[in-house]
Amino acid sequence: MTMFEDRAFVALVGGVLALLVVASIAGWMLSRRITSERGRATVDNINARIRAWWMMALIFVVAVVTGRVVTILLFTLISFLALREFVTLAPTRPGDHRALFWSFFIVTPLQYYLIWIEWYGLFSILIPVWMSIFLATRTTLAGDTEHFLERTAINQWGLMICVYFISHVPALLMLAIPGYEHQNAKLMFFLVLIVQLSDVLQFVWGKSIGRRKVAPTISPNKTWEGAIGGIGCTTLIGAALWWATPFAPDEAGMMALVITVMGFAGGLIMSAIKRDRGVKDYGAFIEGHGGMLDRIDSLCFAAPVYFHLTRFFYAM
């Protein structure tokens, strides 16, 4: 069965594209109606986001349809760009140079190569076990003890967030779920769609009725009303999309709930790191746009949890 014969997959993709068309039309109408200075800025921001979603959706759909190898390559590139943003903001020292070179050019490709050859055992421990030992050792060889603990911790965390966690998205293609053979692309699609919808709905709920801030020192835009409203709605949508997954409706809802809560936590954690480094966006280097890490912060933390729940309860 090719993907286009899989009616659930076609329905998912079609639904997303239809949603984007509606969003674009709404954004266009808003931009014609609005007159105030502040309203204009908000609408411009929303329209920029819609354009970004179009790009992301098209790239993602093309990669998924083209096949496993292209999907893995896409996520390798995403990891690479995210790690570059992370490391650029980290206070590294010349003694980290060789370990960083390893992180970019050996560890990152290797992690995705393991997905390609479907070696789950090594995939799941390469970075947390082998590389945490190896890279720390490599850093000691440079002989610089200044802030050694911080530097090795930063390098390790960069790899965990930008490579290890994110690699769990294409790793979903490895899972063997009885009765769901050759359909794993939809598992991936479900995850990414739920994460993105949750971001949007939290934004919408927060803008409309948000009052009580969750963590004003970390992320002033996150409110309890936005979080609960967004997470609640996304959970319902997740349950309604059960037909695309190997889950029953209530299970799909639970999965969506876990994904959104993890995504919310991820957003907070990445904001805290940004505050610590004194920047607003990871991609502040690129004018006007956030960076790759700003785009994937929620996905980072949702992916491994979703992967392991699916693997534990559904895979062989």
Partner 1 sequence: MIAAMLAGGSKLLCGASVRWQCDPTATKQRIYYGNHSSHLDFIMIWSALPPRLRASARPVAGRDYWERGATRKYLAGRVFRAVLIERGQATAASARAAIEQMAREMGDRDSLIVFPEGTRSVNGDIGPFKSGIYHLAQLRPDVELVPVYLENLNRILPKGESLPVPMMSRVIFGPPLTADGRDDKAAFLAKARGALIQLKDTR
- Applying CB under 8 A, the residues found at the interface with partner 1 are 80, 84-85, 87-88, 92, 94, 97-98, 100-101, 104, 285-287
State whether residue 223 is helix, strand or coil.
strand
Tell how far CA 38 is from the center of its chain.
30
236/286 with CB nearer partner 1: 286
**Cβ 26 to partner 1 shortest distance, Å:** 32
**Cβ 104 to partner 1 shortest distance, Å:** 6
**Cβ 207 to partner 1 shortest distance, Å:** 28
106/129 with CB nearer partner 1: 106
**Cβ 82 to partner 1 shortest distance, Å:** 12
State whether residue 132 is helix, strand or coil.
helix
182/280 with CB nearer partner 1: 280
**Cβ 202 to partner 1 shortest distance, Å:** 29
Dist. CA 188–CA 186, nearest whole Å: 5
Q: Provide the H-helix boundaries in 67-183.
A: 68-89, 97-102, 108-116, 120-125, 132-141, 148-159
**Cβ 287 to partner 1 shortest distance, Å:** 7
94/179 with CB nearer partner 1: 94
Between the alpha carbon of residue 20 and those of residues 24, 124, 202, the distances in Å are 6, 35, 17
**Three-class HEC string of 260-291:** HHHHHHHHHHHHHHHHHHCCCCCCCCCCCCCC
10/286 with CB nearer partner 1: 286
Residue with tokens 């559904």: 314
The beta strands (E) that lie in the chain are given as none
146/181 with CB nearer partner 1: 146
Dist. CA 118–CA 101, nearest whole Å: 25
